[in-house]
Amino acid sequence: MKKLAANERLSIYLRLIVVISALSLVFLSLPVNPALPAASAPATAATATLDPPLAITPTNTAPAAQAPLRTATPSASTATPQPALTVSVSNPDTLKFVFPTQGPLPISLWRPPPYDLPWAPGPHDHFYFARPIAANKVNWPLPDYRYGGTMDDNDHLTIHTGIDIEAPFGTPVLAAGDGTVVWAGYGLESMSHNPNDPYGMAVLIRHNFGYQGNRLDTVYGHMSEIDVVAGEKVKVGTRIGLVGETGNATGPHLHFEVRVEENNFFYFQNPELWLVPPQGWGILVGRVMDSWGNLIHRLDIRVTSKTSDQDWTVRTYGNETVKSDPYYQENMVLSDLPAGDYTLSIPYGGGTFHQDITIYPGRVSYYTFKGFYLFKTQLPPTQAPDFLGTATPTPAH
């Protein structure tokens, strides 16, 4: 019996050793739990940085691409997110995903106030007239039918002798300067009553100042109502009527002309060289020719601002009969340009030629283009004493 007891004990001991060894091997093969800190690790090990999806994106939110739309700020106990997913308005790349892509900036109808009348910073300047439409209205020329533009009328090429200022029906029309009303009503073209006159209801003012000793007239056409009579004295800014579409007009607008006396005959000139510019804005004047010095007619020229990338297109005068300024001898004018740097683009000879030019506040910036001889930006020389202007309008006799 004692011998069997001894064998049993030995068997039990051996089995225990096998079991203990197996348990040790199993225990040693188990992975270490990363969420549990090691006994020797400091207490701060529990706040180690986790992957960003675990720290920022809950399981029931939109995909990670929508993460920048969130505005909530993680609490101090939240694991630190990676910088690529941090929502911060100081990061311009983040804002690209928060806001839609910005479209073209709207063109404001507001213009700065004009310079004081008369405005003549140079000896050849004659910005003597105020805008005939108030500054809080659209008061610059329609870009597609400026002075010197052409329009086909029953196969007859009609030259535009003024500028058109688009305005709502009934907008007040104001006198551009002091003077006396010479005509008021239908029939301006023939200076006799004619309900079919192309000007429609029109007013002509002869001003009590002139230029180089010559008288100046201004014309206001296509009105719906006239508030003055022939012989009436008016001051600059006096309401003389309302915008309409009488005569040869396709919509409500004001047709405005400047006429300069020469040898007892009045010639048309570009009103954009006579209307006072807005403060801080300037005027571009050019003479565009081919390589032989002949004026190029009806050529579209692009003017691009280097600051805003905004483009303007202006067309050269229609033909040789269009009257130019005696000093500039221009065949294109573009007024109301904010001061700054611009690029001119002129198509010629199968290519496009470019020239940088600066617009100065309240002044004329002048250039000439002569085909393959390219650009010059110097002012023209004074031709003769009678081309010299005066700093202020001269009184008319």
Per-residue model confidence as pLDDT tens digits over 276-303: 999 999 999 999 999 999 999 999 999 9
User: Which stretches within 41-91 are classed as H helix?
Assistant: 52-56
Mean of pLDDT values over 160-185: 94
Alpha-carbon distance values, 107 to 111, 155, 308 (Å): 11, 36, 11
- Residue 391 pLDDT more than 90? no
Q: Which residue matches tokens 């040693």?
A: 28
CATH topology of domain 150-395: Glucose Permease (Domain IIA) (2.70.70)
260 or 87, higher pLDDT: 260
User: Pick the residue with more confidence: 72 or 233?
Assistant: 233
294 CB burial (10 A radius; 0-12, 13-18, 19+) = exposed
- Which of 54-58, 243-247, 259-263 has the largest mean confidence? 243-247
In terms of Cβ atoms closer than 10 Å to its own Cβ (0-12, 13-18, 19+), residue 34 is exposed
Domain ranges of the chain: 150-395
The residues, any chain, with a CB within 8 Å of residue 98's CB and separated by 6 or more, are 68, 69
- Given a cut of 80, whether residue 72 has pLDDT beyond it is no
**Of residues 171 and 136, which shows the higher confidence score?**
171
More confidently predicted of 5 and 48: 5
Question: Bridge partners of 367?
Answer: 286
Q: Which two tokens stand for residue 160?
A: 């535009």
Q: Tokens standing for 280?
A: 């801080």
Q: How confident is the model at residue 131 (pLDDT cuts 50, 70, 90)?
A: very high
Mean pLDDT of 23-29: 56
More confident site: 105 or 143:
143
Contact call for residues 305 and 338 (beta carbons, < 8 A): yes
CB 146 within 8 Å of CB 108 = no
| Cα separation, 127 vs 272, whole angstroms | 9
Distances, alpha carbon 258 to alpha carbons 219, 221, 263, in Å = 7, 12, 16
pLDDT number for residue 25: 57
Question: Beta-strand (E) ranges in 276-387?
Answer: 281-289, 300-305, 311-315, 332-338, 340-348, 351-359, 364-370, 375-376
Please, which pLDDT band fits residue 386 given cuts at 50, 70 and 90? very low
> Stretch 263-269: mean pLDDT, rounded?
81
Q: How many CB atoms lie within 10 A of CB 281?
A: 21
Amino acid residing at 322: V
Q: Give tens-digit pLDDT for 146-159.
A: 888 776 554 556 78
- Asked if residue 126 lies in contact with residue 176, where contact means CB atoms within 8 angstroms, the answer is no
Query: Does residue 369 have a pLDDT over 70?
Result: yes
Taking all residues of the chain, what is their mean pLDDT, rounded to a whole number?
Answer: 76
Task: Say what the pLDDT of residue 119 is.
Answer: 93
Give mean pLDDT, residues 67-81.
38
Cβ-based neighbours of 165, under 8 Å, separated by 6 or more:
132, 133, 138, 139, 140, 141, 142, 253, 254, 256
| pLDDT band of 175, cuts 50, 70, 90 | very high
